[in-house]
Chains A and B, each alone.
Chain A
């Protein structure tokens, strides 16, 4: 798999980075101990950021603060005015028994000002285009449960892309999917990033996804490290993030993170 580092980010080269979202000294708690503590983070136009950390480390809370669906307990989250954000939730949270077709899912994300229940001719054209872009052409009238794992993930990406977002936010986009689907998703996100879209995602998949991203944030209640995989994926940072010793190897020019059970003995 090609590293995103190797790809040219035209927007980043020709103009100074413009912050889409600025997370400034943010802390958050759900009426209990702090889930996130004093986080500073900037998401620039055209950037690609992966957030890693153990379960319960505050990754999804950070996404929700970026999305604006949560308000921080302390600190501020500034979003660029009129920023168009699209969110792809974990596929495990989708109600696959809901009576809904692929086209109906994609149509949902249209402008909230649209009142008519049925799709207009231009909306149908747009839906066809985005389904074709994601290799889902001809599946518009199928129920979402009737698709393969990779197709299901792409339906929700299609819904997000149908909003024509400036910033795409994904929660565990490769969780619970097979290797082939993971490759499909990574290639899709790579193409979207190359076209200038800013992407933020959370992942548990360090080797399959995080090592291929240009920038990684290691989070465990606080922001432990932020930078390129080579800068961030060190045994020290990983142990602070996951609370367990881990080794970092290099194979064929790519980083490989492994558990290091012997180091504890």
Chain B
């Protein structure tokens, strides 16, 4: 039982990380129907900026809490600027282009960001400074740490905050209007350029937050770390129904749980035929099965013809 509980905790934490990244994807997709393939790279930049800023400040003798906060702030600011620039330079000019065009641009931006990061930070794996004291808990034989609790709480809070933003504020209303029909929204006086830019900036700020969480948890960073993470998170977003905030959260957690429980138990269930080497495909198999029955994800609204 303690092992099962431990696997649930593992899955929940991993899933919350996916969810945090998936929220960034869904935010952009929900409004303009664009897969921002470079979002994983934004997360990576967030982690690396924090390493540089917090690392330098720690070396200069600043207390851990302050250095950590400064690192987070710097990461959020850099990523917001990056998100804004991405939208302005790469995506806005393509709003009327054929729909595969922005996808290729996004892939191109992803390659560019990865290689820029490699030039700036080098190709080696880096250690992330310890920003949180190591506190271990034990519950019925299962171990977990403070950072794990924080990750779960942060993703839940982020989703809550986003829901409030989208359904309770004026900007949120403008976002929903733009998502419904950009042309009509602009006739109603919504500045859709500004709304879309806002979505990118908010999504990227979330990416930075996710980057800091990932860094603090694994204490390791690398210029290629964003790609796989982004892919998994994107899968999570689609699983939950892309464009739906609660769906992204649930999709993320579900994906994390599937992976942990799959890796933990599939071997025993299939008599050793399948094992943890198939961990990466559980997610895709579940995704395909879900989409066969619900073509727009678990909580997705029926998409129109735009996709």
Our verdict on whether A and B bind, yes or no, reads no
Q: Which of B's residues lie within 8 Å of A, judged by CB? A: none
Q: Which of A's residues lie within 8 Å of B, judged by CB? A: none
